């Protein structure tokens, strides 16, 4: 099996990735220390109740204490598994500004001076998705049995069929870009169906995980168990004991095509992985990737940016004329300085960028199948749009509805309000 190449862009990436990964473990530890503190308080209260009342809660309370007493063991087991998988020191990053997916150039140093210039402007920015907790959530979603209902709802029932329909792989192995690819399951599914796939990801932890997954775990058919639910707050539990259950990964039984691909393929190299911020990485030298993707799939990604216009501009530049953009996910805007456009307004803006809607549907799903453990799963009703890009489409002004022109031309008055005593 040929491995995918992982690309970094700045000379200090590796050092930053190591620091970010160390921080990711600390964030997880912080999370679990809070849980242990809650257990301590809970045990104090239970002891008090046992002393003060005549009721016999001892069996229930000792059951809870048993879980609490073993929690550090489960935590330690996770530390051991994840520190054996997330090893930034083993990352082999090729430094480049976007070498072509498969077009043959290996001149990574070609743009060295430009890269140095960009590097001096780069700052060490830890992604909100960097923590080990986020990795465990995304790993559960993508690579465990517990996440299979979510994959079925999103990947197998919607994203993959829509992609196959809009961009049949028989059309010369279309090139697909997946920005914010998380732990990479969708990318590998598409690879197994004959697409050339490029992943972009800015979380150092996800990136390090992906590296081991592609270079060691999948090629060696290794399997690992871990405790996926330790980080949940001690509320809304169906049954505290479920926290003691383990998950196995990678779980691929729900995908015959991926299983088949992993057992026979020697073309893993048609996967390319670009580490870094989507807008920075592709904006820095858009020339390499300008008009080069047949499809872009944004899966729970479009709401992660500070500025949605940067995302839309980048997507529009990278996609070929008539290319497909499939967007799936809520508008759960992550940054304060993002404008929280509603779907209706966002669709108007998307249209102004030259995208035409081919299909629209919605799907309801939890984020990582966590409804089995918590009564408060992260649950979404998500729109799924397939767009086609018309690069020669009308400009923003042409799109303005003449009937609304008096509305849009009128000077805007900020609303005036005051709180009455």
Ligand X SMILES: C[S@@+](CC[C@H](N)C(=O)[O-])C[C@H]1O[C@@H](n2cnc3c(N)ncnc32)[C@H](O)[C@@H]1O
Binding site for ligand X (CB under 6 A): 127, 129, 138, 141, 179-182, 200-203, 206, 277-278, 299-301, 304-305
133 vs 200, beta carbon nearer ligand X: 200
Shortest distance (Å) from residue 133 CB to ligand X: 13
Of the two residues 39 and 303, which places its CB atom closer to ligand X in the complex? 303
Nearest-approach distance from CB 243 to ligand X, in angstroms: 23
CB of 92 to ligand X, least distance (A): 20
Q: How many angstroms separate the CA atoms of 222 and 214, rounded?
A: 11
Residue 277 Cβ, how far from ligand X at the closest point, in Å?
Answer: 4
174 vs 182 by CB, closer to ligand X:
182
What lies within 8 Å, CB to CB, of 124 at 6+ separation is 12, 16, 19, 20
Cis peptide before 71 (omega within 30 of 0): no
- Which residue's structure tokens are 């259950």? 245
Of residues 182 and 295, the one with the C-beta less far from ligand X: 182
Return phi, psi of residue 42, to 5°.
-65, -40
The least CB distance from residue 368 to ligand X, in Å, is 8
Q: 85, 226 in Cβ contact below 8 A? A: no
Rounded to whole angstroms, the Cα distance separating 379 from 109 reads: 45
Is 6 or 75 the residue whose CB approaches ligand X more closely? 6
Residue 332 CB, shortest distance to ligand X, in Å, is: 8
Minimal distance, residue 183 CB to ligand X, in Å: 7
Q: Please, which residue, 206 or 318, has the CB nearer to ligand X?
A: 206
Buried-exposed string 150-186: b where 16+ CB fall within 10 A, e elsewhere: bbebbbeebbbebbeebbeeeeeebbbbbbbbbbbbb
Closer CB to ligand X, 282 or 353, in the complex: 282
Q: Closer to ligand X at the Cβ: 71 or 300?
A: 300
DSSP 147: G
| Nearest CA-CA partner of 230 in 141, 130, 137 | 137
Q: Whole-angstrom Cα distance, residue 63 to residue 240?
A: 9
Instruction: State in angstroms the smallest separation of the CB of 251 from ligand X.
Output: 15
Least Å distance, CB 136 to ligand X, is 13
DSSP for 320-380, please give it.
EEEEEEEEES------TTS----HHHHHHHHHHTTEEEEEEEEEEEESSSGGGTBSS--EE
Q: Which residue is nearest to ligand X (CB)?
A: 180
Query: Which residues partner with 224 through β-bridges?
Result: 249
Q: Residue 253: what are its φ and ψ, rounded to 5°?
A: -60, -20
Toward ligand X, which CB reaches closer, 126 or 400? 126
- Least CB distance to ligand X at residue 189 (A): 12
Cα 81 to Cα 88, 353, 402, distances in angstroms = 14, 45, 61
**Phi and psi (nearest 5°) for 46?**
-65, -40
Cβ proximity to ligand X, 182 vs 228, nearer residue = 182
- Determine the longest span between alpha carbons in the chain, in angstroms: 79
């Amino acid at each position: 099996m040929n491995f995918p190449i992982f690309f970094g862009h700045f000379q200090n990436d590796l050092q930053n990735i190591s620091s970010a990964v160390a921080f990711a473990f600390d964030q997880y530890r912080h999370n679990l220390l809070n849980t242990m503190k809650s257990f301590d308080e809970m045990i104090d209260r239970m002891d008090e109740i046992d002393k003060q009342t005549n009721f016999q809660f001892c069996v229930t309370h000792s059951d809870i204490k048993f879980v609490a007493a073993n929690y550090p063991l489960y935590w330690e087991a996770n530390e051991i598994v994840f520190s054996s998988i997330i090893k930034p020191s083993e990352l082999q990053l090729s430094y480049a500004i976007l070498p072509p997916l498969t077009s043959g150039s290996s001149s990574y140093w070609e743009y060295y001076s430009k890269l140095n210039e960009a590097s001096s402007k780069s700052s060490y920015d830890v992604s909100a998705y960097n923590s080990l907790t986020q990795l465990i959530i995304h790993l559960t979603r993508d690579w465990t049995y517990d996440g299979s209902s979510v994959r079925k709802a999103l990947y197998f029932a919607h994203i993959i069929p829509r992609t196959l329909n809009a961009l049949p792989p028989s059309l010369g192995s279309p090139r697909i870009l997946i920005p914010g690819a998380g732990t990479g399951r969708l990318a590998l599914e598409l690879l197994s169906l004959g697409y050339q796939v490029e992943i972009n990801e800015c979380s150092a932890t996800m990136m390090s995980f992906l590296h081991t997954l592609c270079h060691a775990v999948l090629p060696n058919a290794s399997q690992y168990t871990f405790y996926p639910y330790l980080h949940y707050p001690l509320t809304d539990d169906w049954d505290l004991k479920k926290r003691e259950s383990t998950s196995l990964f990678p779980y691929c039984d729900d995908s015959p095509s991926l299983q088949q691909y992993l057992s026979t393929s020697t073309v893993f190299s048609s996967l390319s992985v670009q580490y870094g911020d989507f807008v920075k990485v592709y904006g820095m030298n858009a020339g390499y990737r300008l008009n080069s993707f047949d499809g872009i799939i944004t899966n729970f990604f479009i709401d992660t940016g500070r500025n949605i216009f940067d995302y839309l501009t980048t997507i529009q530049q990278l996609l070929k004329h008539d290319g497909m953009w499939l967007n799936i996910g809520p508008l759960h805007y992550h940054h304060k300085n993002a404008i929280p456009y509603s779907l209706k307004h966002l669709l108007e803006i998307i249209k102004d960028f030259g995208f035409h809607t081919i299909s629209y549907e919605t799907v309801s799903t939890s984020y990582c199948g966590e409804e089995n453990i918590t009564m408060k799963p992260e649950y979404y009703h998500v729109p799924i749009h397939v767009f086609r890009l018309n690069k020669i489409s009308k400009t923003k002004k042409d799109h303005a509805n003449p009937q609304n022109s008096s509305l849009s031309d009128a000077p805007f008055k900020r609303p005036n309000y005051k709180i009455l005593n």
